[in-house]
A and B are shown apart, each in its own frame.
Chain A
Amino acid sequence: MSSAPSSTAAPAPVIRADHLTIRFGDVTAVDDVSFHLDKGELFGFLGPNGSGKTTIIRALCGLIPLTSGNATILGMDVRQHAKDIKRHVGYMSQKFGLYEDLTVSENLNFYAAAYGLSSTVANARIKELLALTSLEPYFTRRVAQLSGGWKQRLALACAIIHSPEVVFLDEPTAGIDPVARRSLWDLFFQLAGQGVTFFVTTHYMDEAERCGRLGYIYMSRLIALGTVADLQELPDANPPGTSRVEIEAPQVSVLLTQLRQFPGVREATIFGRAIHALVETRSIDALQAAFPQLAIRTIQASLEDIFVTLTLHIMGVPQ
Chain B
Amino acid sequence: MNGIFFGLRPVCRKEFTHILRDPTTLFFALLIPVLELFLFGYAVDTNVRQIPTVIFDESHTQDSRSLIQSFAASDIFRISFYVQSEPDMYATMRSGKARVAIRIPYDYARNLQRGKTASVLVLVDGSDSSVAGIAVDASTGVALMQSLNRIPGLTAPAIEVRPSVLYNPATRSANFFIPGLIAVLLQVMIILLIALSLVRERERGTLEQLTMTPIAPLGLMVGKMIPYGVLAFGELCIILTVMDFIFQVPIHGSVIMLLLMSLPFILTVLAIGLLISTRARTQAEAFQLAMSTILPSVFLSGYIFQISTMPAFFRGVSALIPTTYYIQIIRGIVLRGSAFSDLWVNALVLTLMGLAAILLAARAFVKQDAV
A102-B17, A106-B17, A114-B214 in contact; A97/B208 too (CB < 8 A)?
yes
Question: CA separation between A65 and B366, bound complex, in Å?
Answer: 12
Contact of B213 among A95, A99, A114 (CB under 8 A): A114
Bound-state Cα–Cα, A235 to B365, Å: 46
Check: B340 CB closer than 8 A to any chain A CB: no
Question: For chain B residues 164-218, which have a beta carbon within 8 Å of chain A?
Answer: 204-206, 208-215
- One digit per residue, 1 when the CB lies within 8 angstroms of any chain B CB and 0 when it does not, for chain A 74-116 equals 0000000001001101110101111111100010001101111
Q: A61 contacts the other chain (Cβ, under 8 Å)?
A: yes
B14 touches A102 (CB 8 A): yes
Instruction: Known A101-B22, A114-B214; judge A93-B14 contact (CB<8 A).
Output: no
Give the residues in chain A near B215, CB-CB below 8 Å: 114
A63-B214 contact given A97-B205, A102-B17, A116-B6, CB 8 Å threshold? no
Tell whether A64 is near chain B: CB-to-CB under 8 Å: yes
- If A95-B204, A99-B14 touch, whether A63 touches B370 (CB-CB below 8 Å) is yes
In Å, the complex CA distance between A61 and B209 comes to: 12
Give chain B interface residues in 10-52, CB to chain A under 8 Å: 10-11, 13-14, 17-18, 21-22
Contacts of B158 in A (CB 8 A): none
Given A65-B371, A113-B10, A114-B10, A86:B204 Cβ within 8 A: no
Contact of A86 with B214 in the complex, beta carbons under 8 Å: yes
Complex contacts, A102 vs chain B, CB 8 Å: 14, 17-18, 21
**Which of B14, B205, B209 has the most chain A CB within a 10 Å cutoff?**
B209
**Chain A residues closer than 8 Å to B210, beta-carbon distance:** 97, 114
Please name the residue on chain A nearest to B207 by beta carbon: A97
A95 touches B18 (CB 8 A): no
B203 to chain A: closest CB distance in Å? 10
> With a CB–CB cut-off of 8 A, which chain A residues contact B13?
110, 113
State whether the Cβ of B78 lies closer than 8 Å to any Cβ in chain A: no
- Closest beta carbon of chain A to B206's beta carbon, Å: 5
Query: In the complex the two chains form, is B206's CB within 8 Å of A97's CB?
Result: yes
Q: Are A93 and B371 in contact, CB atoms less than 8 angstroms apart?
A: no
Write out the residue numbers on chain B whose beta carbons fall within 8 Å of the beta carbon of A115.
213-214
Contacts of A65 in B (CB 8 A): 371
Q: How many residues of B contact A (CB 8 A)?
A: 24
Q: Among B11, B204, B209, which residue has its beta carbon within 8 angstroms of that of A91?
A: B209
Asked if A86 and B18 make an inter-chain contact with CB atoms under 8 angstroms apart, the answer reads no
Interface string of A147-158 (1 = CB under 8 A from B): 000000000001
Does B9 sit within 8 A of A, measured CB to CB?
yes
Per the bound structure, the CA–CA distance linking A98 and B206 in Å amounts to 6
- A83 nearest CB neighbor, chain B only: B214
Residues from 196 to 238 in A contacting B, C-beta threshold 8 Å: none
B322 in contact (CB, < 8 A): no
Q: Assess whether B7 is interfacial by the CB under 8 Å rule.
A: yes
Complexed CA–CA distance, A262 and B24 (Å): 65
| Shortest Cβ distance from A107 into B: residue | B14
B205 touches A93 (CB 8 A): yes
Q: For A90, what are the chain B residues with a Cβ–Cβ distance below 8 Å?
A: 212
A113 to B22, CA, bound (A): 23
Please indicate the chain B residues that have their CB under 8 angstroms from the CB of A159 in the complex.
209
Inter-chain contact B14/A106, CB cutoff 8 Å: yes
Distance in angstroms from B14 CB to nearest chain A CB is 5
Q: Are A101 and B9 in contact (CB under 8 A)?
A: no
A143 to B14, CA, bound (A): 14
A158 to B212, CA, bound (A): 12
Given contacts A101-B18, A106-B14, A113-B10, contact A63 B204 (CB under 8 A): no
Closest to A111 in B: B213
Return chain A residues, CB-CB under 8 Å to B206: 95, 97-99
Q: Which B residue sits closest to A96, measured CB to CB?
A: B205
Cα distance, A100 to B9, chains bound together (Å): 20
Q: How far is the CB of B10 from chain A (nearest CB, A)?
A: 3
Question: A95 touching B214 by the CB < 8 A rule?
Answer: no
- Given known pairs A89-B212, A114-B7, A115-B213, the reply for A95 and B14 (CB within 8 Å) is no
For residue B204, give the distance in angstroms from its CB to the closest CB of chain A.
7
Return the chain A residue nearest B216 by Cβ. A83
Give A96-138 as 1s and 0s: 1 = Cβ < 8 Å from B's Cβ atoms.
1111111000100011011110000000000000000000000
Residues from chain A with Cβ under 8 Å of B17 in the complex: 101-102, 106
Instruction: Give CA–CA (A159, B208) in the complex, Å.
Output: 12
A112, B203: Cα distance in complex, Å: 23
A25 to chain B, nearest CB (A): 14
Sample of 10 A–B contacts (CB below 8 Å): A63-B370, A87-B214, A95-B208, A95-B209, A97-B205, A106-B17, A114-B210, A114-B215, A115-B214, A116-B214
Q: A86-B212, A95-B205, A102-B17 provided; 8 other pairs, C-beta below 8 A?
A: A63-B371, A65-B371, A83-B214, A97-B208, A99-B18, A101-B17, A114-B215, A116-B6
Q: Which residues of B contact A (CB under 8 A)?
A: 6-7, 9-11, 13-14, 17-18, 21-22, 204-206, 208-215, 370-371
